[in-house]
Amino acid sequence: MKMTLTSLAVGLLLAGPAVYAQGPRNEPVQPIPAAEVSDAAMAELGKKLFFDPRLSRSGFISCNSCHNLSMGGTDNLKTSIGHNWQQGPINSPTVLNSSLNLAQFWDGRAADLKEQAGGPIANPGEMAFTHELAIGVLQSIPGYVSEFEAVFGQSELDIDMVTDAIAAFEETLVTPDSPFDQWLKGDDNALSAQALAGYQLFKQSGCVACHNGPNLGGTSFQKMGVVEPYQSDSDAIGRAAVTGKDADRFTFKVPTLRNVELTYPYFHDGEAATLEEAVDIMGRLQLGRVYSNQEVSQIVAFLKSLTGEQPRFELPILPPSTNQTPAPEPFG
């Protein structure tokens, strides 16, 4: 449909208070950009692999098990459940907007989504498979072989192709157009007075020193417990596990605050059950500030305004196994 300048002007007038007359605001946080899909076929293949439990030894655990796209890209557990009901060592971070992070995992041991995608498959405490066995399963399924050939131009599969495809799908999992993003773009009516007060307090307190940029985090590693030590029963030591430096103990990747209303419980050990508890702890341990109940409520109202449009797509129909497909080992 062709739209003239006149019809566009009429449309803007009819749009009423949602029109962004003021224009983008100059803030330390920027709106989440919409996903740009460069290879739709690869992303579609990656979506199937993301949901396919046959990439695990049990045939029961998929990427979506710990990064449930119906639950903010997490599992809402303190620590995730791995093969044979093993308790995971750390809270599962959201996969939503993860392409905006400087690195993956809490300790940043994976440089990008591609590297991250291969880790859980071969981790004995997670999917408990090997890359070779996973490829063997996929290679035995004609539907996958033909789809990989269409995307990559070859019928011989390897783990790089698998992780490339999963990463391509995960890059589409962005959540634009939250109420806060609408406010950033100039819509004065997008935020409640309480949420706006919470954002101003968030800035004035210094939270934006770590939680900034489009993802409100994910761009730096910071020590957990700056003003007061953080007490935890978790064995996770943070960035030190990667660098080997004692100075990096309890230094973790700053988590995104996008969709944080959906990604409870909080922190690397999942010890903060609610947003209110998380705000109180962060204020005291990181900033040396004790927030009043009213201030906590204001910041929580702001945090809830960061919930964007969740990814919406048709669930994939996975190609069936064949007589040659290795059987899963759910109890082995």
Cis peptide before 326 (omega within 30 of 0): no
Q: CA-to-CA distance for 84 and 264, rounded, in angstroms?
A: 24
The answer to whether 36 is a known catalytic residue is no
Q: CA-to-CA distance for 43 and 35, rounded, in angstroms?
A: 12
Q: CA-to-CA distance for 278 and 207, rounded, in angstroms?
A: 13
Alpha carbon of 174 to those of 6, 31, 169: distances in Å? 34, 11, 10
CB neighbour list of residue 230: distance below 8 Å, 6 or more residues apart: 224, 250, 281, 285
Q: Which of 27, 36, 44, 126 is catalytic?
A: 126
Residue 121: how many other CB atoms lie within 10 Å: 25
Q: Please identify every residue annotated as catalytic.
A: 126
